[in-house]
Amino acid sequence: MKKKDTLPQTVNMTRRQMIKMGVGALAAGSLGFPAIISAASDTVRVGHITPRTGFLGTLGDYGFRGVNLAVEELNAAGGILGREVDLFTEDSVGSHMAPTKAQKLVERRKVHFLIGEISSGSAGGVMATANRLKTMYMQSGANSDALRGEKCNPFTFHVEACNTMYTKTIGNWQDRAGNVKGKNFYMLTADYAFGHDLARVSTRFLTEKGGKVMENELIATNTPDYSPYILKIKEAKPDFVYINLAGSDQTTFLKQYKEFGLPFNVSGGVMDTVPFWGAGIDSITGYWQSLWYHKMPTESSLAFAKAFRDKYKFPPDNQAWGDYVAVKIMAAAMNEAKSTDPAKVIPLLESGMEFDILKPRRGHFRKWDHSLLQQMFVVKVKDKDKMEDKWDIFEIVEPTPADNESLEVIQPTVEENACKMA
């Protein structure tokens, strides 16, 4: 922000500077940055932190748009506690930067709560910062079980589903279809916190159900070429290729796997819609697990998808859903608690208060690990000729847990993922 003492300079600026600033302002305007004017003390301030660059940057962009839409809608409806909502955003870059950025949002921007993240490595750092600075954090995109287990803390709540939930959702479905017991799985795993965690819980699940993990290749993020691994898969002849990859790595692998035309089915420990859109309908087949899909036939979900599409000209994905819902949950809790004070809001979030999370069943947080108890979905890749547009790649097969089942069914148990709130 320009302060008063710098004003004379801006008055005397040259034509060139003027043009430069104009172009800059235009660029900022069309990016949809929120107006960040010195925060008045009577606003409720939201700090959004997520990767906007790198291999998770494409997902982060959806989260950024989701949170912007949520704040816009809240303000149009009178804000939180009748106070305007101010949004501050940071690119978390990576796990080396994320904690510092989170600290900046809390100490400099004085945000009332943090939301965001996608990388499990970065989210761990943001969680620790939130705990240290006694600031609430709605973790909306990192999957690693360990964040809900050994790294859990009282200030963090997880809107994103954990690796076990993703694994059990598709695993139970495949198991019932007879695709786990006695089958061989060839794993490709992203070589960082998320991938390691996912390989661990996937291996546990598949082995318990009588499957066999014949190989687990650890692969660096942003790998441009998967052909050496595809040749190894060709020789190993597995029943399933099982991918524990994230972000644009999913896209790259799916495209190149299609290129080599191997006959083995692909499944995986996680599915994000954006990289699957990026891979294109020709490169994907089979059944997958989904946290949320924009054709979810509930009233509030369709309203969100429409509002998002009207604003941005393309539909939201599960990451946009996560960041959007995280803000809406926090707004509902603060309105209910009639306060922004963590001492009042946290007990309410832990009380089992139910939230509309744009799914058939409402969701609530589990008290002992702050995991959002929610439905997930088995989805099937659509026939190409039945697609309505290029984003229409899935049909929803069934929700998991089913309507008559406990929401705990797909959650990790205490034995699987113990959490001691410190």
Which residues contact other proteins by CB under 8 A?
Answer: 27, 30-31, 52-55, 57-58, 60-62, 191, 196-197, 199-200, 203, 213-220, 222-225, 227-229, 231-232, 234-236, 248, 251-252, 255-256, 259-261, 274-275, 277-283, 314, 390
Shortest distance in whole angstroms from residue 96 CB to other proteins:
17
Select 32 or 352, whichever has its Cβ closest to other proteins.
32
Closest-CA residue to 84 (of 95, 75, 96): 75
Select 268 or 399, whichever has its Cβ closest to other proteins.
268
Select 120 or 131, whichever has its Cβ closest to other proteins.
120
Shortest distance in whole angstroms from residue 275 CB to other proteins:
6
Shortest distance in whole angstroms from residue 289 CB to other proteins:
20
Select 129 or 319, whichever has its Cβ closest to other proteins.
319
Select 131 or 250, whichever has its Cβ closest to other proteins.
250
- Residue 198, amino acid: L
Shortest distance in whole angstroms from residue 142 CB to other proteins:
17
Closest-CA residue to 274 (of 60, 95, 91, 115): 60
Select 13 or 28, whichever has its Cβ closest to other proteins.
28
Nearest-angstrom CA–CA distance, 249 and 27: 29
Q: Which residues of 243-260 are buried (b: 16+ CB within 10 A; e: fewer)?
A: bbbbbbbbbbbbbbbbee
Shortest distance in whole angstroms from residue 276 CB to other proteins:
9
Shortest distance in whole angstroms from residue 216 CB to other proteins:
4
